[in-house]
Amino acid sequence: MEAFTTHTGVGVPLRRSNVDTDQIIPAVYLKRVTRSGFEDGLFAAWRSDEHFILNQEPFKTGSVLVAGPDFGTGSSREHAVWALKDYGFRVVVSSRFADIFRGNSAKQGLVAAQCSQSDVELLWKLLESEPGTPVTVDLTDKTVRAKDLVAPFEIDDYTRWRLLEGLDDIALTLRHEAEISGFEGNRQTWLPTTDPLQAV
Amino acid sequence: MSRTLAEKVWEAHVVRHGSGAEPDLLYIDLHLLHEVTSPQAFDGLRLANRKLRRPDLTIATEDHNVPTVDIDKPIADPVSRLQVETLRRNCAEFGVRLHPMGDLEQGIVHVVGPQLGLTQPGMTVVCGDSHTSTHGAFGALAFGIGTSEVEHVMATQTLPLRPFKTMAINVDGALRPGVTAKDIILAVIAKIGTGGGQGYVLEYRGAAIENLSMEARMTVCNMSIEAGARAGMIAPDDTTFDYIKGRPHAPSGADWDAAVAYWRTLKTDDDAKFDAEVHIDADTLTPFVTWGTNPGQGLPLGANIPDPEQIADENERVAAEKALAYMGLEPGTPLRDIHVDTVFLGSCTNGRIEDLRAAADVIKGKHVASGVRMLVVPGSMRVRKQAEEEGLDKVFLDAGAEWRQAGCSMCLGMNPDQLAPGERSASTSNRNFEGRQGKGGRTHLVSPLVAAATAVRGTLSAPADLEN
């Protein structure tokens, strides 16, 4: 995973709450078996409306999305994170994220920066009155900065460390192989097993 | 120390406690796979030259993409077909048992696990699907994960996780006739909101929950995610044990006795504290339906469409305005006056045998209203077979409904069963998001009883309305 320390880009004000993952990427785009190229599905229904924010200059090239509360609710589809990243977003700012979306973001190096709703409102006003204002998201001091505005954000320390270091979760877990095997040796015998096949 | 049910199951699965900010590493007892969220995870294993650690704790089925008619023919949509074929290839390569289309055990992954007896109390169950919360009905800690986590479980049979907070949802009293588990959970979501459960594991408790059947409990836990909670749980009891006993993967003999003895310890200690508590009085509940575009936008069927101008919170007001514009509804309209084009009975929320029986009971001897189509989609092929043995297929067909093969069907627009733009449905599924059932489609979430009555009258209705 690519490490993240700081990022500066065009902020996009998305004045919507409850942006569920079906809106971020509709199910019809989930049929692919590859891991890239999901940018065409991002907000597909909303983007068909020419007035949608991502169809406006200079927001088209945005990389910091500033959204309402309860961002990423609903389906667990990691495709929502892939679509945001493939489009060019590096950060989503919201006052509340759905748990699964937050976890998926952390795995993919998309920063889910949790700000207060009042700071989100200030960012919205600034980005709407001065479109194209660059927004800097600094993971080292956990702040979102735009012009004079400095908004602290929350992200858990472990995720922050992993993002700063660009570390892969699976490799980290496999360092504990002995403990996993030890745990497996003590599992109850009645626990169910499936009927696996012979792997080819 | 006193602990809640969720804390007991968590503690029993900690491989190692994290130090400082580091999460705990939790062992996963059962990993369910389907075609949509697994291909990139299998690819990741291959790229890193990693093995699937425990194929014997992994099982797969085909559900999201599958058509529910003509299943003996190749899937017409080439992209869907490729996804299903990719799952088949991956399962063969990595040694995973797969129940493909046409197999008696094929169906929606959350119907299949419990029906095989693979879901048991006290287990950790994960799947790349947010409705994995369904399995919490057995007292399992079960939750949806993203594809990176799917790959992580494949490679390590563990997940790094931070402990959840716990929330008790106390549903006391008794449900009135015509009020179901679906109405309980829709009322819970309307009460705490779509974000109310974020960061929590919900534990549903109280007399009204204890009196629910196993399948009704699954309906409740299924929609925990619609309240923002990754997992919902119900303490296992004799209802749970009776349901599991004799199923293909249930323990037997001395193992059964040992398992039940352990399962009986899986309840929240009397003096344990939850981080939050919510109370719902079951006696006051009536059939519930949604009017908007998130599952928290629901009201009793007897209510009218709310007026956004009366909503104080700005975010909620804007959300309500956008929802009504999308849904094509006017404030003040009685919910009972809303006409639907389609009724969908099925999904991992309400596609089990009891759901089909309940709806059949309402619709028996009556007919679907003219201009309305009704799709009845069993949650699994085994449910379908059982329904046919009970003659339910005839009841639905005689009423003018369509009797389909098993799959996710119209719950989400990934297969041919979709709403056309502007079309309106009463649906027993779990999400009324914009476009969820097809681009431009409008969804009202309802119980199987309301679905059946609505099919007969053509407007949102409860079974009691058929008697007038």
Quick check: A1 pLDDT over 90?
Answer: no
pLDDT at B117: 98
Q: Are B180 and B449 in contact (CB under 8 A)?
A: yes
- For the stretch B146-196, pLDDT in tens is 999 999 999 999 999 999 999 999 999 999 999 999 999 999 999 999 999
The verdict on B343 and B262 lying in the same domain is no
Quick check: A199 pLDDT over 80?
Answer: no
Chain B residues in contact with A192 by the CB 8 A cut-off are 29-30, 117-118, 120, 249-251
In this structure, is residue B296 part of a structural domain?
no
Residues B198-234: b if buried by 16+ CB within 10 A, e if exposed: bbbbbbbbbebbeebebbbbbbbbbbbbbbbbbbbbb
Q: Smallest CA–CA separation between A114 and chain B, in Å?
A: 14
Chain A residues in contact with B194 by the CB 8 A cut-off are 18, 70, 73
In this structure, is residue B98 part of a structural domain?
yes
Closest CA to B270 of B8, B2, B5, B1: B2
Quick check: B451 pLDDT over 90?
Answer: yes
Closest CA to B110 of B350, B444, B358: B350
Question: What torsion, rounded to 10 degrees, do the Cα atoms B209, B213, B218, B220 define?
Answer: -30
Q: What is the mean pLDDT of residues B208-219?
A: 98
Mean of pLDDT over chain B? 97
- Crossing angle of helices A99-108/A79-87, nearest 10°? 50
Closest CA to B443 of B227, B224, B288, B291: B291
Q: What is the mean pLDDT of residues B335-348?
A: 98
Are A76 and B144 within 8 A, CB to CB?
A: yes
Partner residue opposite A31 with nearest CB, options B29, B83, B194: B83
The total of structural domains in chain B comes to 2
Q: Which among B251, B276, B301 is the end of a domain? A: B276
- For the stretch B277-294, pLDDT in tens is 999 999 999 999 999 999
- Crossing angle of helices B353-363/B381-389, nearest 10°? 40
B248 touches chain A (CB under 8 A): no
**Cβ neighbours of residue B154 closer than 8 Å, sequence gap 6 or more:** B31, B41, B42, B45, B50, B52, B53, B58, B94
- In the block, residue with structure tokens 């204890």: B210
- For the stretch A181-195, pLDDT in tens is 999 999 999 999 999
Are B157 and A180 within 8 A, CB to CB?
A: yes
**Cβ neighbours of residue B236 closer than 8 Å, sequence gap 6 or more:** B121, B122, B138, B139, B263, B264, B266, B267
The verdict on B256 and B345 lying in the same domain is no
Q: Return the percent helix, strand and coil in chain B, to nearest 5.
A: 40, 20, 45
Closest CA to B37 of A104, A97, A1, A70: A104
Chain B residues in contact with A189 by the CB 8 A cut-off are 255
Phi, psi of B201, deg, nearest 5:
-100, 130
Partner residue opposite A192 with nearest CB, options B91, B120, B439: B120
B294 touches chain A (CB under 8 A): yes
In this structure, is residue B290 part of a structural domain?
no
B199 touches chain A (CB under 8 A): yes
In this structure, is residue B365 part of a structural domain?
yes
In this structure, is residue B292 part of a structural domain?
no
Are B195 and A76 within 8 A, CB to CB?
A: no
- The interface predicted TM-score (ipTM) is 0.94
Q: What is the mean pLDDT of residues A89-109?
A: 96
Question: B173 in helix, strand or coil?
Answer: coil
**Which one-letter DSSP state was computed for residue A67?**
E
pLDDT at B56: 98
Output the CA–CA distances (angstroms, integers) from residue B373 to B18, B238, B312, B338, in the order listed.
Answer: 54, 40, 38, 15
Range of the domain at B89: 5-276
**Cβ neighbours of residue A38 closer than 8 Å, sequence gap 6 or more:** A25, A29, A32, A79, A82, A83, A86
Question: B125 in helix, strand or coil?
Answer: strand
Partner residue opposite B414 with nearest CB, options A28, A35, A103: A28
Q: Is B177 exposed, middle or buried (0-12, 13-18, 19+ CB in 10 A)?
A: exposed
pLDDT at B273: 97
B348 known member of a binding site: yes
B365: left (phi over 0), alpha (psi -120 to 50) or beta: left
Chain B residues in contact with A118 by the CB 8 A cut-off are none
Sign of the dihedral defined by the CA atoms of residues B262, B268, B270, B271, in that order: positive
Residue of B nearest to A101 (CA): B146
Q: Are A24 and A44 in contact (CB under 8 A)?
A: no
The verdict on B353 and B255 lying in the same domain is no
The verdict on B14 and B128 lying in the same domain is yes
Q: What is the mean pLDDT of residues B185-211?
A: 97
Q: How far apart are CA B219 and CA B138, in angstroms?
A: 12
**Which one-letter DSSP state was computed for residue A196?**
P
pLDDT band at B1 (very low <50, low <70, confident <90, very high): confident
Q: Smallest CA–CA separation between A8 and chain B, in Å?
A: 26
Q: Smallest CA–CA separation between B155 and chain A, in Å?
A: 7
Quick check: B468 pLDDT over 70?
Answer: no
User: The pTM is what?
Assistant: 0.95
CATH label of the domain that carries residue B437: 3.30.499.10
Structure tokens at A109: 């190096």
Partner residue opposite B43 with nearest CB, options A35, A81, A173: A35
Closest CA to B443 of B464, B420, B463: B420
Q: Smallest CA–CA separation between B12 and chain A, in Å?
A: 10
Structure tokens at B15: 């491989």
pLDDT at B314: 87
- For the stretch A9-42, pLDDT in tens is 999 999 999 999 999 999 999 999 998 999 999 9
Chain A residues in contact with B39 by the CB 8 A cut-off are 33
B435 touches chain A (CB under 8 A): yes
Q: Which among B276, B295, B321 is the end of a domain? A: B276
Chain B from 335 to 364: CB within 8 A of any A CB: none
pLDDT at B36: 97
- For the stretch B13-27, pLDDT in tens is 999 999 888 999 999
The verdict on B226 and B343 lying in the same domain is no
Q: CB neighbours (10 Å) of residue B76?
A: 10
Q: Smallest CA–CA separation between B398 and chain A, in Å?
A: 33
Closest CA to B243 of B384, B143, B131, B138: B138
Q: Smallest CA–CA separation between B239 and chain A, in Å?
A: 19
pLDDT at A2: 81
Q: What is the mean pLDDT of residues B441-462?
A: 98
Partner residue opposite A190 with nearest CB, options B80, B199, B255: B255
How far from the centroid of its chain's Cα atoms is residue B392's Cα?
22
In this structure, is residue B302 part of a structural domain?
no
B411 known member of a binding site: yes
Q: What is the mean pLDDT of residues A59-76?
A: 97
- For the stretch B56-85, pLDDT in tens is 999 999 999 999 999 999 999 999 999 999
Residues of chain A above pLDDT 90, percent = 95
Chain A / chain B CB contacts < 8 angstroms: 226
- Structural domains in chain A, sorted by start: 6-183 (3.20.19.10)
DSSP B348-413: HHH-SHHHHHHHHHHHTT--PPTT-EEEE--SBHHHHHHHHHTTHHHHHHHTT-EE--SSSGGGST
Q: Report the residue of B14, B315, B417 to disrupt the A interface, i.e. the one with the largest count of A CBs within 10 Å.
A: B315
Are B86 and A76 within 8 A, CB to CB?
A: no
In this structure, is residue B301 part of a structural domain?
no
- For the stretch B297-333, pLDDT in tens is 999 999 999 999 999 988 889 999 999 999 999 999 9
Partner residue opposite B25 with nearest CB, options A108, A156, A173: A173
The verdict on B270 and B414 lying in the same domain is no
Quick check: A200 pLDDT over 80?
Answer: no
The verdict on B88 and B163 lying in the same domain is yes
Chain A residues in contact with B249 by the CB 8 A cut-off are 192-194
- In the block, residue with structure tokens 């998926």: A104
Q: Smallest CA–CA separation between B121 and chain A, in Å?
A: 10
Q: Which among B276, B309, B326 is the end of a domain? A: B276
Q: Report the residue of B84, B131, B194, B311 to disrupt the A interface, i.e. the one with the largest count of A CBs within 10 Å.
A: B194
Instruction: Give, for A113, the enclosing helix (H) or strand (E).
Output: strand A111-114
- For the stretch A108-135, pLDDT in tens is 999 999 999 999 999 999 999 999 999 9
In this structure, is residue B149 part of a structural domain?
yes
Q: What is the mean pLDDT of residues B332-344?
A: 98
Chain A residues in contact with B128 by the CB 8 A cut-off are 76, 78
Residues A29-44: b if buried by 16+ CB within 10 A, e if exposed: bbbbbebeebbebbbb
Kindly report whether the peptide bond that precedes residue A58 is cis, defined as omega within 30 degrees of 0.
yes
Are B412 and A27 within 8 A, CB to CB?
A: yes
Residues of chain A above pLDDT 70, percent = 100
